[in-house]
Amino acid sequence: MKKRKAGKYILIALAGVTAAVLTVELFYYPRNVRDKKSLTLQAPAPSDTVTVVSANARCWSPTDLFQRSWFYRARLLIETVAAEAPDVIGFQEVTPMHERFLNAVLSGYGHVLQYRDKSPLSEACPLYYSLARFEAADAGSFWLSDTPDVMSKYKGAGYCRVCTWALLRERSTGKETLFMNTHLDNVSDDARIKGIHVILEKMSAFKDVPAVLMGDLNTGEQGKTYLAATAAFDDAKYLAPETETGATFQGFGARTDGENIDYFMVSKTGVEPLLYRILRTTYDGAYPSDHFPIALTLR
C-alpha cells in the first residue's frame, strides 16, 4: 500500500515538473513564431573570398529553461550568424524544430540535411549555402561507422553520428570546393577517430578538390582525435594571419574552464584561411547557444 502511494506521489511530481517545463517553453514559443515571420538573412553579394560559419545550435532539452530555451535563443543565434554575412553555414545538433525555424529564416540559402537516426528529436548537421553564390554540384550525407552508407552506429559510440557534405560550384567562376559538416561522438575516442577516417575515405573520391571540414569534434587539441584530423587537414585558425584562440564550449557562460572543441579543418592545398574568429556575442546576458559559433574567411 505504501509503495503504491509513493508511486502515485512520484507520478504527480513528474507531471508537475513536466507541466512547469511546458509552461516555460510555451511562454517563449510565440516569440519563436513571430521571429520566424519577421527575420530574414539575405544572401551576400559575390566576392573573391568565402565566409563560413559553424554553429552548434544546442539540441532541445527540457532542462533549458528561460533564456536557455531554444524558443528564446533562436533569434539570437541567427542574429549572431547573420552579422557575418556567411556564404556557407554549418549547424550542429539541429532537431526538426530547429530545422523548421532555420528553413523559414534563411532566405536565399539552399540546404542539405540528414538526421542521424529515426528518433523524434533526432539531430542533424545541415549545411546551408548561398544560392546567389553557389550551386550544389553534388551533395549527401554518410554515417560515421563501419557501414557509412546506411543509418548505423560505430561500436562503443554514444549515438549514431553523421557527416553532411556539399560539393559547391561557384556560379561566377565554376570553381568547386567540398564543404563537410559533422559532430563527432561524445563518448568514445575510438568512435571519433573512426569518424575522422570515414570522412577522409569519403573525401578521397573528390581527389584534388579543396575541402573544408567544420563542426563540433568533441575533442581538445591534445586529444588523439585532433591528431588524427590534423594528420590530413590543417587547423585553419593556425594558418589565418588574423586569428584568435580560446574556448568555444562555455555551457551558456557557466563554464569558465571550457575548451575549444569546434573547428575548421582545411585541406593542405587549395584553401587559404585569412581570418578566424570566435563569435562571443551575448544579448543582455543571454547566450545564443552553449557553444560560441566560429567564423572563417578564406580564399
Please compute the mean of the pLDDT values over residues 35-45 and round it to a whole number: 59
Residue 289 reports pLDDT greater than 80: yes
The least confident of 30-34, 125-129, 142-146, 158-162 is: 30-34
Confidence at residue 266, expressed as pLDDT on a 0 to 100 scale:
97
Return the pLDDT at 2.
Answer: 57
Asked if 210 contacts 269 with a C-beta cutoff of 8 angstroms, the reply is yes
pLDDT tens for residues 200-244? Answer: 999 999 988 999 999 999 999 998 999 999 999 999 999 999 999
Mean pLDDT over each residue of the chain, to the nearest integer:
90
**Which residues partner with 267 through β-bridges?**
233
pLDDT at residue 44 greater than cutoff 60: no
What is the average pLDDT across 156-177? 96
pLDDT at res. 244 = 92
- Banded model confidence at residue 255, pLDDT cuts 50, 70, 90: confident
Tell me the average pLDDT across 239-255: 93
pLDDT for the residue 257: 76
Domain range for 175 is 2-298
Q: Write the CATH number for 190.
A: 3.60.10.10
Task: Using a cut of 0.85, tell me whether the model's pTM lies above it.
Answer: yes
pLDDT in tens, 185-210: 999 999 999 999 999 999 999 988 99
Looking at residue 25, its pLDDT comes to: 67
Q: How many domains does the chain have?
A: 1
Q: At what angle do helices 2-38 and 70-82 cross, to 10 degrees?
A: 30
